[in-house]
């Protein structure tokens, strides 16, 4: 073990170094074409590293810092979806302000000298509610989503044209001198295409032709679309595209990886998926070694699903384990290790882009990928696929030790500049610091949501209505109420409710009797409780709640298994009636398989069914309708003093707090609460569901991001809708910061690639002997590095 060398440095952005010998400080727009090797920008082939940052999942105030940190991590491109239901929430009414200001976001990318990739979709999936499609599309007569269907194609073309025209009006395509070098039409359609039979391929061809016809001056891609028509490029999504993808569908198209998942999305009740920096680096290097030239990290910064924008059961926090966490803080060693990887690959640019490619084995599980140019430039990737042990290989008469499951990059075919398994960059730890307790009973007010009965309702039906089709995505909540006479002397009965999700709260004669919920994998569930009934008349109120609209189009995977026996009508849409979700009509018998999407399926009290009965409905909650989460709306109800000893379900809570001093991100610690939604100064920071624990007994998310741009200096209004009986007195206002950094260096590690570049630029010939491994540490602004003992292993 070599001596650990610690270096105090300035803030991370003052420590950024140029890692590419021939790198440019900014990118200029121009003609964008491609060949079988790479994208060609202004006549120059390029290896490009990209990162997904979604503009509505952060704030305009955060965009400059996020993009700067992405650039500092060695990225060339920022990639984003375009969110149709965010920009056109009502048909023909467009919104492009605040977090929706996509033009300002693209211009910020350009101002920092990076390229942009615009994934217009307009179906995007992305764990975004309803897959990004506006719910009003469902009510368009005769529409079938994502098919060779004229109503859908008309609306899709209109929106895509709107976005392209907006970009053109601001000169944002590369052909106009702007940063957009790549656009995407549709999204992972190849997964569901077979279920559409002959209309699927026809739709693909139409979508490609429509997109290319918009003449953006830059290529279009279709991800997970093996039959993408020329000139549209088919691309790969996943974690191991270098191993699993069969490549472009034409030798004249470059290999592009549009989604390299840096972690994975997380749903309530699950632990986070942790993907190591080593694993990500291995698969990026392998993809490049196999002639890949464009890699995008999904996500590079995940951000926050503010409001009700998350899809079914998704956390409010999104891809917090990305190189930039939910708050925009650098997550090490992931950020730094990938930065080193990018620099090492960029050292190989010339032979990668112009050299002759060969590959040959170095052992049973070892392989060499070599690129040799006419000028004598040479680069090699030495791969050890053995995930259990190191391997010593001989390449060009020299020996190299390759750690298990790793790739060494040799920019000159002699010296190893980088190995994917050898992490030389620092690691860090994120901590939450308590800044303010909200434990004063006098500071809290409460408002109890009224439990409706049948007489209070104006919407009536003699059957159970489907939840989503009734609420039209205006709220998560739908009340189902009915009244019946109980003539038995036995006061106790069994209430049995079968629901398709996502959550249900039951009230009998105004009193809470129980709750139940489903999960993302199994949204349906049964609530069964013993209830006490009055003699004669009883009121039952059942509150159905969704936790985000489903990304509907994954549901048809189940139906596609039936495609050899049945046809699918109104695929991926809700039907006009309120009876069912998807219907698959069997060709032979004419019978159909019916599947409700959300809401109640059947209701039974003891032995009597009330499914087909006189039902009264209330869409949403009174507090929502009166907007009591806003300062002006809070005056519309009579708030009363908080009573901690008598907490009830469906209660609104209100208090005020001051903004913590400094610049560290702010988070609301809701660990003491149950399930609901939170607003700060009238802005929803998202749903919370702390009571749903993981198998390890932890909440999936306890802290909820409050961007500083949402805050005033003092007296910020916090409002919570609590569905359960959480305790608001234990809520705290915290700040988030990187509080520990640590690193190690030993003789088996490689020097940082930046030092390799410096040596190479001086044209020293004996590079390997002149370098020593070192650990470089940096900390956020305003903090100092101190010596530490008992550092954890990296």
Q: 310 Cβ partners below 8 Å, 6+ apart?
A: 127, 128, 129, 316, 318, 547, 548, 686, 687
CA distance 5 to 429: 19
Alpha-carbon separation of residue 707 from 69, 664, 684, 685 (angstroms): 18, 10, 11, 9
Q: Which two tokens stand for residue 378?
A: 């040479």
Q: 403 Cβ partners below 8 Å, 6+ apart?
A: 384, 390, 419, 421, 422
What SS3 class is residue 628?
A: coil
CA distance 214 to 648: 56
CA 546 to chain centre: 19
Task: Residue 743: name the closest of 686, 687, 788 by CA.
Answer: 788
Alpha-carbon separation of residue 154 from 109, 158, 229, 402 (angstroms): 31, 6, 20, 55
Task: Residue 406: name the closest of 491, 453, 337, 489 by CA.
Answer: 337
The terminus-to-terminus CA distance of the chain in angstroms comes to 14
Q: 769 Cβ partners below 8 Å, 6+ apart?
A: none
- Choose, from 108, 186, 259, 774, the residue flagged as catalytic: 259
DSSP letters along 345-406, please?
Answer: HHHTHHHHHHSEEEEEESSSSEEEEEEE-TTS-EEEEEEE--SSS-EEEEETTEEEEE-TTE
- Choose, from 188, 624, 677, 724, the residue flagged as catalytic: 188
Q: Provide the greatest CA pair distance for the chain.
A: 98
150 catalytic, yes or no? no
CA distance 73 to 70: 5
306 secondary structure, DSSP code:
-
326 catalytic, yes or no? no
Alpha-carbon separation of residue 705 from 81, 271, 305, 672 (angstroms): 22, 19, 10, 16
CA distance 325 to 321: 6
Alpha-carbon separation of residue 479 from 277, 507, 548 (angstroms): 47, 10, 17
What does the chain come to in residues? 794
Q: 606 Cβ partners below 8 Å, 6+ apart?
A: 493, 494
User: Which run of H or E residues covers position 158?
Assistant: helix 150-169
Provide the β-strand partners of residue 366: 384
- Catalytic residue ranges: 188, 259
């Amino acid at each position: 073990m070599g001596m650990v060398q610690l270096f105090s440095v300035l803030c991370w952005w003052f420590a950024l170094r140029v890692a590419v010998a021939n790198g440019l400080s900014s990118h200029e727009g121009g003609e964008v074409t491609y060949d079988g090797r790479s994208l060609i920008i202004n006549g120059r082939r390029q290896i490009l590293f990209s990162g997904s940052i979604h503009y509505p999942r952060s704030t305009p105030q955060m965009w400059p810092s996020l993009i700067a940190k992405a650039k500092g991590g060695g990225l060339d491109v920022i990639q984003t979806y375009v969110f149709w239901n965010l920009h056109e929430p009502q048909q023909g009414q467009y919104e492009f302000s605040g977090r929706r200001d996509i033009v300002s976001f693209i211009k910020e990318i350009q101002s920092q000298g990076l390229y942009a990739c615009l994934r217009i979709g307009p179906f995007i999936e992305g764990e975004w509610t309803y897959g990004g499609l506006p719910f009003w599309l469902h009510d368009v007569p005769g529409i079938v989503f994502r098919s060779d269907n004229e109503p859908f194609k008309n609306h899709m073309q209109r929106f895509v044209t709107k976005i392209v025209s907006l970009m053109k009006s601001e000169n944002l395509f590369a052909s106009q001198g702007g940063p957009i070098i790549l656009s995407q039409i549709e999204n992972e359609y190849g997964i569901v295409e077979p279920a559409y039979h002959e209309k699927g391929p026809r739709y693909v061809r139409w979508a490609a032709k429509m997109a290319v016809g918009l003449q953006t001056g830059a290529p279009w891609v279709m991800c997970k679309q093996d039959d993408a028509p020329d000139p549209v490029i088919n691309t790969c999504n996943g974690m191991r595209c270098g191993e699993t993808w069969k490549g472009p569908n034409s030798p004249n198209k470059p290999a592009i990886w549009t989604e390299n998942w840096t972690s994975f999305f997380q749903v309530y009740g699950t632990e986070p998926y942790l993907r190591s920096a080593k694993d990500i680096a291995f698969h990026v290097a392998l993809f490049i070694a196999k002639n890949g030239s464009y890699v995008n990290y999904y996500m590079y910064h995940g951000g926050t699903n503010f409001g009700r924008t998350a899809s079914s059961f998704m956390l409010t926090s999104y891809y917090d384990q990305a190189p930039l966490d939910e708050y925009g803080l650098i997550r090490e060693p992931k950020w730094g290790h990938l930065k080193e990887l990018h620099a090492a690959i960029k050292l190989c640019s010339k032979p990668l882009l112009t050299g002759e490619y060969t590959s040959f084995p170095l052992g049973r599980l070892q392989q060499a990928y070599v690129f040799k140019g006419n000028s004598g430039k040479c680069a090699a990737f030495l791969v050890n696929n053995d995930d259990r042990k190191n391997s010593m290989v001989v390449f060009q008469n020299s020996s190299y030790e390759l750690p298990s499951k790793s790739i060494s990059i040799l920019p000159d075919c002699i010296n190893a500049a980088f190995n994917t398994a050898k992490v030389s960059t620092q690691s860090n730890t994120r901590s939450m610091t308590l800044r303010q307790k909200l434990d004063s009973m006098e500071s809290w007010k409460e408002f109890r949501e009224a439990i409706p009965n049948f007489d209070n309702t104006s919407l009536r039906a003699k059957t159970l209505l489907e939840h989503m089709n009734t609420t039209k995505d205006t709220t998560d909540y739908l009340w189902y109420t009915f009244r019946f006479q109980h003539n038995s002397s036995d006061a106790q009965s069994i209430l049995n409710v079968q629901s398709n999700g996502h959550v249900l709260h039951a009230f009998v004669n105004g009193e809470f009797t129980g709750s139940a919920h489903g999960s993302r994998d199994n949204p349906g569930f049964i609530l069964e409780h013993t209830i006490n009934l009055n003699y004669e008349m009883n009121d039952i109120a059942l509150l159905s709640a969704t936790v985000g609209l489903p990304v509907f189009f994954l549901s048809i995977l189940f139906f596609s298994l039936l495609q050899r026996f049945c046809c699918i009508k109104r695929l991926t849409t809700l039907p006009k009636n309120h009876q069912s979700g998807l219907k698959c009509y069997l060709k032979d018998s004419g019978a159909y398989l019916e599947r409700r999407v959300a809401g109640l399926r059947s209701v039974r009290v003891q032995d009597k069914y009330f499914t087909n009965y006189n039902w009264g409905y209330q869409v949403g909650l009174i507090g929502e309708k009166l907007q009591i989460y806003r300062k002006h709306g809070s005056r519309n109800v009579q708030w009363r003093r908080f009573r901690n000893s008598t907490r009830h379900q469906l209660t609104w809570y209100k208090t005020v707090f001051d903004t913590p001093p400094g610049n560290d991100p702010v988070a609301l610690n809701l660990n003491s609460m149950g399930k609901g939604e939170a607003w700060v100064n009238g802005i929803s920071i998202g749903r919370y569901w702390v009571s749903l624990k993981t198998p390890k007994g932890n909440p999936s998310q306890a802290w909820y991001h409050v961007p500083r741009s949402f805050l005033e200096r003092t007296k910020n209004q916090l409002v919570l809708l609590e569905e359960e009986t959480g305790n608001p007195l234990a809520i705290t206002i915290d700040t988030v910061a990187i509080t520990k950094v640590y690193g190690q260096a030993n003789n088996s590690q490689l020097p940082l690639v930046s030092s390799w570049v410096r040596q190479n630029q001086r044209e020293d010939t004996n590079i390997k002997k002149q370098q020593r491994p070192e650990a470089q540490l940096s900390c956020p602004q305003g903090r100092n590095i101190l010596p530490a003992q008992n550092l954890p292993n990296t």
